[in-house]
A and B are shown apart, each in its own frame.
Chain A
Amino acid sequence: MKKRVLTLGTVACLVIGTLAGCGFTGSTDSSTTGGSSQSAASSEATFDKTADSSAGDQVLSVYANAEIKTLVQWAASDNQSSKVNNNAFEGLLRLDENHEAQPALAESYDVSDDKLTYTFHLRDGLQWSDGTPLTAKDFVFAWLKQMSAEATNGYSFIMTDYIVNGAEYNEGKASAEEVGVKALDDKTFQVTLKAPTPYFARLTVLCQFFPLNEEYVTSKGDQYGLSAENMIYCGPYVITSYDPAVGAALKKNDKYWDAANVKVGNAQVRVMKDASAALNAYLANELSQVALDSSNVAAYQNDPEFSSKSEFRTEYLQFSLSNPVMANKNIRRAVSMAIDRETLVKAILADGSAPSEGLVAEGMYGDESKSFRDLNGNICQFDPEQAKKYWEEGCKELGQTPALTLLVRDDSVTKAVATYIQSELNKNLGIDIVIDTKTVQARNELMDNDNYMFASTAWGADYDDAMTYLDLWTNGTPYRGSYQNEQYNKLINGARVETDDAKRLDMLLQAENLLVDEDVIVAPLYHRGSATLTKSNVKGLINHPFGPDVEFKYAYFK
């Protein structure tokens, strides 16, 4: 018996020893636990053994609330990958502290008089992290890759919609030489557009527009991007370790053209799916910044480390026009008017979200002096009395009081919002609606197959222009409620080619009015906000409202 116990014990110890040896992603730094007297990030254990301690002991650490599924540029479409890629790569322009696009790898650019040709002049001496020169050809290769059939992130439209022969190249009807992207020489990159696009230069801050070194990417084949060793970088940081489930560790890129202005030596993006665990990690000084969920906002909103802001993301109700009930405009208007969005964001969400006054988010570019939202005003009125009248009118037209079913995805926030909508419609219209909760995939399938009445969904801006929201409703797909309106399409298509900025803006303002107010195709609910805590000794850690959401480049420790 004793022998057996001894043998079993030895085997168990060996197994544990083996597992312990190979499972961890980091060093054996013992300073992980949080003493409150320690500075924000100096107590953090770096999970990358190769982190450069000479570049500074303090580590900037943020978290991702989902896994970083891929870093491959032409496959990535999620926030988590852009959190990492935006700091390890750079495009022709980069967003600054005020979310304005500023010259980055391109020192300057010229726009032709017809606003169709953009000529970008790259900086002197640009190089990749392995020392290889970075040239205009790297942009041509990356952009063609993003436009090709190989791209799996669903973002090719962000180039093919604008660049000459981009769509044709994607369909195999045009050669690479015929596409409007050219390297005039090593330092000059020229792009030819189909139509004037006032926000085109601002698009180049997105990860899809970052350059790639053809020789390197080709040499790595299908291994490119699967690990930190199989990538080279051109941004403020290089990635030193990457595990989709654990996160990414970054260190300052000495080959970066503006390395002198990058003050933080080491940074991390750590995967933490549980919001309360992330808050605990922040309180234990293991994170430099954390996002708060609604339940914690009240407790921290007077904390000097607290801040909140609204993002360029709108949550809205999508009505299906092919559904006989929702085809009735009075019914749609009644539903939209019966929801008090102010109470929704204050009492239910309480996380920095703003009540929607329209589909286009607060703060999105309008003209030089005002935002789009300021210009179009509040077109999502809450008026329970009017709502009731529209409802009764709609019921009369339908010849019955319809039963409504709201399709929602199964995350906790959406379920809470759906319950609130249910109570609002009960209170203000006197009806009981059914909430149909499905996984994201199942909800999408139902919407795709036009098998829904109205659904809760959302859209986050890809770039800082109202077009990112408004051009979604031009193709009449079931997902977008099967909306087909010639006038709407005329406005959007007109805005796509209009050279006069004021006229273009006016078309977009009209389009939003038509979609939300006149035709009530969507009922915007709220613009998603985020409430965060940031350690008081961390400065310049920027969270952009659109595109890449965290910027390490300007951060420093005080």
Chain B
Amino acid sequence: MIKYICKRLIYLALTLWVIVTATFFLMKKLPGSPFDAERFNMMSVQQQQAILEQYGLNQSVPRQYIKYMGNILHGDFGTSFTYTGQKVSAVIGGRIGPSALIGLQAVLIGLAVGLTLGIIAAWRHNSGIDYFTMIVAVLGVSVPNFVAAALLQYYVALKWGILPVGFWTEWKCSVLPSIALSFSATAMIARFIRTEMLEVLEQDYIVTAKAKGLSPMKVLMRHAVRNSIIPVVTILGPIVVNLLTGSLAVENIYTIPGIGSLFVDSIKANDYSTIMGITIFYSAFYIFVVLIVDIAYSLIDPRIRLAAGREG
């Protein structure tokens, strides 16, 4: 297991290097500069030179690349072009918390509600609850999260006054965005677990378990759910990454200072250092979550071996 993880970490570093390099050169192809052309033209030549020198933009692109790679090895992601004087690591650091909180809550809601609905639907196949679950799943997948966010904001916050309309002042502010974000995850998880369970419930060992006289609840929890959950773990990786790294629409609607809007804004503004910083963060996070998912497989089902050659 340790050998496997070490190997994966080396792959992680290599993948990151490829991503950083590709992003760096592609980003330089973005049209425009990080400075407002109108204001930049109004600067004197001395000021223009000073600002280019400050950000190292007066050097050739390969030199900038070498310098950038050197800096990130020392943990320095540079200074933001948009937020004057702010370190990219500080800007990103300040935005991860809110995105991660609503994302994590959305994952938990998605898991709790999705698993419950999916299990009940499969257990009570072709019943009213099954049809209800499928309607929820279709709605969850087809209604975009910004529509859900706007509706929740209008009814729950504005009409009924139960939760805050927006802003990021207290924990209550994170509830509605988490619910809005969780819709698609809930639907996906419910559909997956239902389909898998229906298949598992047809298996011989379930019939055997029932024949042995196990209570229906024990059959369900010990045999059916455990064996149906592997595909959910597979889709959980991308879901977690998507939800934890923020949703631009939901963040905008609820005024959440998250990383989703930061990424879009920095691309629009050609904020090279912030684009790079977030790309590295996203990539590292994604690769890391995939690794965790792989490890989780073996924890859930010990028959799955991570490293080849250890069986037999």
Q: Which residues of A line the B interface, CB within 8 A?
A: 1, 4, 12, 15-16, 19-20, 22-30, 32-35, 45, 47, 67, 69-70, 72, 75-77, 149-157, 160, 167, 170-172, 222-223, 225-226, 243-246, 270-274, 276-277, 280-281, 283-284, 286, 438-448, 477, 479
Q: Which A residues are CB-close (under 8 A) to B49?
A: 149
Q: Which residues of B line the A interface, CB within 8 A?
A: 30-34, 36-47, 49-51, 82-86, 91, 94-95, 97-98, 100-101, 104-105, 108, 150, 153-154, 157-158, 161-174, 221-222, 226, 252-255, 257, 261-262, 265, 268-270, 299
User: What is the bound-complex CA distance between A446 and B33, given in angstroms?
Assistant: 11
User: What is the bound-complex CA distance between A440 and B49, given in angstroms?
Assistant: 23
Interface pair A246/B168, CB less than 8 Å apart? yes
User: What is the bound-complex CA distance between A75 and B86, given in angstroms?
Assistant: 12
Known: A149-B44, A245-B94, A441-B31. 6 other contacts (CB 8 A): A33-B162, A34-B161, A69-B82, A284-B164, A286-B167, A439-B31
Interface pair A447/B265, CB less than 8 Å apart? no
**Dominant SS among interface residues on chain B:** helix
Point out the residue from B98, B255, B299 that lies within 8 Å of A272, measured CB to CB.
B255
A35-B161, A445-B32 known; A45 vs B169 contact (CB < 8 Å): yes
Interface pair A273/B108, CB less than 8 Å apart? no
Point out the residue from B39, B164, B171 that lies within 8 Å of A33, measured CB to CB.
B164
User: What is the bound-complex CA distance between A19 and B158, given in angstroms?
Assistant: 26
Q: From B32, which residue of chain A is reached at the shortest CB distance?
A: A441
Interface pair B252/A273, CB less than 8 Å apart? yes
Q: From A70, which residue of chain B is reached at the shortest CB distance?
A: B84
Interface pair A277/B253, CB less than 8 Å apart? yes
A153-B39, A171-B46 known; A15 vs B257 contact (CB < 8 Å): no
A45-B169, A152-B47, A277-B166 known; A157 vs B94 contact (CB < 8 Å): no
Q: Report 5 cross-chain contacts, Cβ distance below 8 Å, ordered by A residue.
A: A23-B168, A226-B85, A243-B94, A245-B257, A439-B31
Q: Which A residues are CB-close (under 8 A) to B30?
A: 441-442
Q: From B91, which residue of chain A is reached at the shortest CB distance?
A: A244
Interface pair A170/B174, CB less than 8 Å apart? no
Min Cβ gap A120→B in Å is 26
User: What is the bound-complex CA distance between A284 and B44, given in angstroms?
Assistant: 47
User: What is the bound-complex CA distance between A166 and B46, given in angstroms?
Assistant: 13
Q: From A13, which residue of chain B is reached at the shortest CB distance?
A: B108
Q: Which A residues are CB-close (under 8 A) to B162?
A: 33
Min Cβ gap B31→A in Å is 4
Q: Which B residues are CB-close (under 8 A) to A223?
A: 85
User: What is the bound-complex CA distance between A150 and B43, given in angstroms?
Assistant: 11
Interface pair B166/A154, CB less than 8 Å apart? no
Min Cβ gap A296→B in Å is 14
Min Cβ gap B302→A in Å is 12
A20-B101, A24-B168, A447-B37 known; A280 vs B153 contact (CB < 8 Å): yes
Q: Which B residues are CB-close (under 8 A) to A286?
A: 164-167
User: What is the bound-complex CA distance between A14 and B39, given in angstroms?
Assistant: 47
Interface pair B101/A19, CB less than 8 Å apart? yes
Interface pair B41/A477, CB less than 8 Å apart? yes
Q: From A173, which residue of chain B is reached at the shortest CB distance?
A: B46
Q: Which A residues are CB-close (under 8 A) to B165?
A: 33-34, 277, 280-281, 284, 286
Interface pair A156/B37, CB less than 8 Å apart? no
Q: Which A residues are CB-close (under 8 A) to B84?
A: 69-70, 72, 75-76, 152, 225
